[in-house]
Homo-oligomer: A and B are copies of this chain.
């Protein structure tokens, strides 16, 4: 890999962590996204490549392994009702996976988080705020479990 491939001069994910750093190894990092959905996490490749098919089979496998480990911890610790996985990169074409825990009462469900929020009754807003507070209390356990799951990588 050339130096040019490793880093792009105008890429925010080459310049910055792209979230609060939770874990890293030589080829990827895992960051917490400050979001309405507690536990929203990204797995970001270190090197600047836009697409999964720019990676070797081994690199693809390694990146997806990290993504699936995060999914597993979101299910186990945060009891997410569904996990959404996405690699989009239209604005920042540097491989990064969104691992988004979802709950049936979150403000976007069952739409994607990139859709507009649905109008919600006051009772639904209150239910979500209650769940969100409980989830926030779980984040230290979530981050500890992520560390334990990712350590072998």
Contacts and interface: CB of A to CB of B under 8 A. Distances in A.
B72 A82 contact: no
Interface residues of A, number: 31
Contacts of A111: 90, 114
Interface string A26-49: 000000000000000000000000
A53 B68 contact: yes
The copy count of this chain in the complex is 2
A118 interface: no
A86 B87 CA distance: 6
Given A64-B60, A114-B114, A85 B87 contact: yes
B82 A50 contact: yes
A67 to B, nearest CB: 8
B75 A82 contact: no
Given A64-B64, A86-B87, A116-B116, 7 more contacts: A82-B89, A84-B86, A84-B89, A85-B85, A85-B87, A86-B86, A90-B111
- 8 pairs of A and B residues whose beta carbons are closest in the complex: A112-B114, A90-B110, A86-B86, A53-B72, A85-B87, A114-B114, A84-B88, A91-B110
